[in-house]
Structure 1
Amino acid sequence: MSHENGILISFEGSEGCGKSTQIRFLADRLEDVDHRDVVVTREPGGTIIGEDIRHLLMHADSSQNIFPETELLLFAASRAQLVRELILPAVTDGKIVLCDRFLDSTTVYQGVARQIADDPVTQINSFAVGDVVPDLTVILDIPAEVGLERIKHRISDMPDRMEQENVEFYGKVREGYLHLARNLPERFFVVDGEGEPEEIEILIWNEIHSRFFNED
């Protein structure tokens, strides 16, 4: 994405991979240590409309009957709103945006795991985001079994609809992410999500610093 100073960094991975923790670590480090202006957001969600769509997708009773094509379009609708209302203005203003999931989630979850054909997924993704593509995408890679085990031990609300999928589904999700990373190595950075959170934080920070802040 060709904007003067702003940076868009997305975090991807299957459920339970530790994205939220690493985003929090990175945001704190960017703000407190590097004194950068940071915006943290998530997908689906991040705007009032997006959060309404998130509830519909993840928690509403009616979502149990959702078709893959409907799911794809709802994710895209939330993303289209987020890009125009939040991400594009922030990046244009020189801020660093950290996004918990972005277009690659749709490619992997709906395209690979739900087996919707590539062409409509790619076209709908492109329509939703325009030319807003992450400058860097961090993938926290964990085996499907590890992710499911972590979800079980969360002290939180009931698992959402995506967290209730089976191990085969998560296996497809993992392979989908690794396939993307192999094909677009210049955009993706894959980290072993089974490491200690503090060690993972350092790996991610070093990668980001070398990519974007070496001239500082």
Structure 2
Amino acid sequence: MQTAATTGRFISFEGIDGSGKSTQARMLAETLRSEGHEVVLTREPGGSPGAEDIRKLVLEGDPDRWSAHSEILLFTAARRDHLERTILPALAEGKVVICDRFADSTRMYQGLSRGDLRALVDELHRLMIGREPDLTILIDMDPAKGLSRALGRGGSEERFEEFGEALQVKMRAGFLALADEYADRFTTINGARSIDAVAQDVRAIALAHLTGVKAS
């Protein structure tokens, strides 16, 4: 489907649970703002009022509450609202949109982890979203360490962490395969380092993308 023309740049962060992507997305937003960029920091599922309502439905409660097909429809609905109300307006204003997860997470968590539904995810994405990030930064992390971090956060939004380490292993392999499939927009960073070391690499990659100058 066709979407409105945009002048800003759209950067997404992906990775398994506990990889540190949310922290890195926030730090990049702060860095770019300090350097004069107008930045919208957002997340999925969520990022708009309607999408945040759907977030509560899918991330809280019994892990078996929704079938994989139902989750795909819910995530697609949330993403469409997020796109219409947050992402596209910000891009049209020339802002940098930084999103903690986007369609690649649905390709993995619903399209791969709970059945062979990747084709369905991609078809719904084509019909209802029609937009990929300009740059996707994948924070790669050992699955066991990521799961330990994720469960250590506590709180009520542990919908997918509760599927266990086997899912984390499968998701890591899936994300790395996606990085190969969409090599034109993916950059993979080793997340098994200090937060500041990862952030330094993230900043270099993002600035190279925004300026068109290849990072050294």
Q: TM-score, normalised by structure 1?
A: 0.92
2:30 corresponds to which residue?
28
Q: Give the one of 12, 16, 19 matched to 2:18.
A: 16
- Deviation string for 1:157-202 (max 9, x for gaps)? 2452112111111111111110011122110010111111101011
Q: SS where residue 65 of structure 1 aligns?
A: coil
Partners of 1:75 and 1:104 in 2: how far apart? 12
Partners of 1:4 and 1:126 in 2: how far apart? 18
1:125 corresponds to which residue?
125
- How many residues end up aligned between the 2 structures? 211
The residue type paired with residue 75 of structure 2 is F
The answer to whether the Cα contact below 8 Å between 1:64 and 1:161 also exists between their aligned partners in 2 is: no
Partners of 1:2 and 1:205 in 2: how far apart? 28
2:134 corresponds to which residue?
135
Partners of 2:110 and 2:75 in 1: how far apart? 10
2:8 corresponds to which residue?
6
1:187 corresponds to which residue?
185
Q: TM-score, normalised by structure 2?
A: 0.92
| 1:136-215 superposed matches below 5 A | 136-154=135-153, 156-214=154-212
The answer to whether the Cα contact below 8 Å between 1:15 and 1:147 also exists between their aligned partners in 2 is: yes
CA RMSD of aligned residues (A): 1.8
Partners of 1:137 and 1:113 in 2: how far apart? 21
Gaps of 5+ in 2: none
| 1:15-164 superposed matches below 5 A | 15-32=17-34, 34-60=35-61, 64-130=64-130, 132-154=131-153, 156-164=154-162
Q: Share of identical aligned residues, percent?
A: 36
- Displacement of 1:214: 4.5
Deviates more, 1:50-59 or 1:111-120: 111-120
The answer to whether the Cα contact below 8 Å between 1:113 and 1:169 also exists between their aligned partners in 2 is: yes
- Displacement of 1:116: 3.1
- Deviation string for 1:1-50 (max 9, x for gaps)? 99563000000011101011101110111001x21100011101111111
The answer to whether the Cα contact below 8 Å between 2:14 and 2:21 also exists between their aligned partners in 1 is: yes
Q: SS where residue 11 of structure 1 aligns?
A: strand
- Displacement of 1:115: 2.1
The answer to whether the Cα contact below 8 Å between 2:29 and 2:41 also exists between their aligned partners in 1 is: yes
Q: Which aligned segments of 4 or more residues in structure 1 are displaced greater than 4 angstroms?
A: 1-4
Query: Compared with structure 1, are the counterparts of its residues 211 and 3 closer, same or farther at alpha carbon in structure 2 (3 Å cutoff)?
Result: farther
